[in-house]
A and B are shown apart, each in its own frame.
Chain A
């Protein structure tokens, strides 16, 4: 019997996954405890996104088991939100209606829904564009809407697949800081995928370096930087040292 209170939030045990004849993941084992911010980093072809698809139940493993809160991913979906690489907003809905989408689909109505939506619009600084349509927004603003939408259903687990990859560095840094602020106010566990070492170090409590072809865990590196983390952290020697350590591990993982 698994106790949902003490069970790890996510447990992947010996998970393999192939698409057609190509093996994407080879015997991945990974535990994520409640409250962690784990970043998966690695070259293209490591199956980083595939790991997120498996955790969310959008893809089924070829072998091994995936448990979320002790449940199968599909049964745990109610507690999971997914943020995609592009903002995936519905262009025919206003910002407010987009943030509202998850609650609407899950049948939440009345005051709770209105209050949650308005609260999130305020939290991510979107009240002034609540009635705008996505095409009127910049890339960074769209991603904010996407984050607000993901948080509206009060997830315990947030899966993020390179959410800031398409943004310029300034917007990316700002959204990184904002993401940590939101995390300090709400209590969700995060699994984050990125190509950027600096982003991984800034956000994570632990970094998992994946090696490619087929994807497997190369190293797990803890990030012992204290919270709250602010923009100034990026200029400290400690931060720099961690960035070089992760970069080094990434180079090792890559077959030349």
Chain B
């Protein structure tokens, strides 16, 4: 098992290194100007040289995306609880959650900028808006898909509405909620970076990854721009793995999805 995993990891790393090497060679052999395509080595050097601003930008974006995501989890669960109460409410309001998903965020970014001003709050709001829909949809599904016999079991013990909600529907919805958070976490990071392109900074020269990317491109600092792109990717991965860990932590004892396959 472990040996196979190490081989897989080794192979993946080899491919990655080969691509970097090829990239480096192409840049050297064809003498590509560094503002068009910097070599991997140049990217690494630029990243190292401006590591503290790279880190600051990453942390800022992480805060915005994380804040937006957290808010969308809280708001999404509350809205889902409301939706789960009646089919009628669902039918009436569900189309509007699809609206949340389909509205082009770049189109409403200027509005948000106008309403709350540029800066962290505006970006977090954008991340919140676009990560809300998957949370609502998945949590609602989890809340209403409780087996009928389980509801009957609770009714036979004269369970109150609160008991039905907190001891049956909510715990039953947790795995679905995590599916929603996992999807939303990716969108929240992308949303924060996109938001920063429009509303990223209240002060010139300071901002998150999206803002810094825009700034670096205007200054033709393509090597640093690439370093920022790498940082954005790493940030996306970090969010994803953090959610995976939380999901494992809360579900591994009882849920089928977290079951470790038995060794043959």
Within 8 A of B (CB), among A36-95: 56, 58, 77-78, 80-82, 84-86, 88, 90-93
Q: Is the CB of A82 within 8 A of B152?
A: yes
Q: Does A133 contact B (CB under 8 A)?
A: yes
Q: Is the CB of B147 within 8 A of A92?
A: no
Q: Taking CB as reference atom, which chain B residue is nearest A153?
A: B157
Given A90-B150, A90-B168, A90-B171 in contact, is the A82-B156 Cβ separation under 8 Å?
yes
Residue in B157, B254, B259 whose beta carbon sits within 8 Å of that of A102 in the complex: B157
Q: Is the CB of A105 within 8 A of B159?
A: yes
CA A163 to CA B157, docked complex, whole Å = 19
CA A92 to CA B173, docked complex, whole Å = 11
Interface residue SS majority, chain B:
helix
CA A109 to CA B259, docked complex, whole Å = 33
A125 to chain B, nearest CB (A): 22
Q: Is the CB of A133 within 8 A of B253?
A: yes
B33 to chain A, nearest CB (A): 59
Taking residues whose C-beta sits less than 8 angstroms from the other chain, chain B's interface range is 20 to 34
CA A82 to CA B157, docked complex, whole Å = 10
Q: Is the CB of B259 within 8 A of A105?
A: no
Given A58-B155, A77-B156, A101-B157 in contact, is the A91-B149 Cβ separation under 8 Å?
no
Q: Is the CB of A88 within 8 A of B156?
A: no
How does the 8 Å CB contact mask read for A89-130 relative to B, with 1 for contact and 0 for none? 011110000000110111000000000000000000000000
Total A-B Cβ pairs within 8 A? 56
Q: Does B4 contact A (CB under 8 A)?
A: no
Within 8 A of A (CB), among B123-147: 147
Q: Does B256 contact A (CB under 8 A)?
A: yes
Q: Does A183 contact B (CB under 8 A)?
A: no
Q: Does A174 contact B (CB under 8 A)?
A: no
B242 to chain A, nearest CB (A): 22
CA A104 to CA B159, docked complex, whole Å = 10
CA A56 to CA B155, docked complex, whole Å = 10
Q: How many A residues touch B, CB cutoff 8 Å?
A: 24
Residues of chain B with a CB closer than 8 A to A58's CB: 152, 155-156
B259 to chain A, nearest CB (A): 7
Within 8 A of A (CB), among B162-178: 163, 167-168, 171-172, 174
Q: Does B218 contact A (CB under 8 A)?
A: no
Q: Is the CB of B147 within 8 A of A88?
A: yes
Residues of chain B with a CB closer than 8 A to A85's CB: 149
A176 to chain B, nearest CB (A): 22
CA A105 to CA B168, docked complex, whole Å = 11
Q: Does A135 contact B (CB under 8 A)?
A: yes
CA A93 to CA B253, docked complex, whole Å = 10
Residues of chain B with a CB closer than 8 A to A93's CB: 254
Q: Is the CB of B259 within 8 A of A135?
A: yes
Given A92-B171, A106-B158 in contact, is the A82-B153 Cβ separation under 8 Å?
yes
A-B pairs, 10 with minimum CB distance: A105-B157, A133-B254, A84-B149, A92-B254, A82-B156, A105-B159, A88-B149, A102-B157, A92-B171, A91-B254
Q: List 23 A-B contacts (CB under 8 A).
A: A56-B152, A58-B152, A77-B158, A78-B158, A81-B156, A82-B152, A84-B152, A86-B149, A88-B147, A88-B150, A88-B153, A90-B171, A91-B254, A92-B172, A92-B174, A92-B255, A104-B167, A105-B157, A106-B157, A133-B254, A135-B254, A135-B256, A153-B157
Given A91-B255, A101-B157, A153-B157, 14 additional A-B pairs, CB 8 A: A56-B152, A58-B152, A58-B155, A77-B158, A78-B158, A81-B156, A82-B152, A84-B149, A84-B153, A88-B149, A88-B150, A92-B255, A102-B157, A134-B254
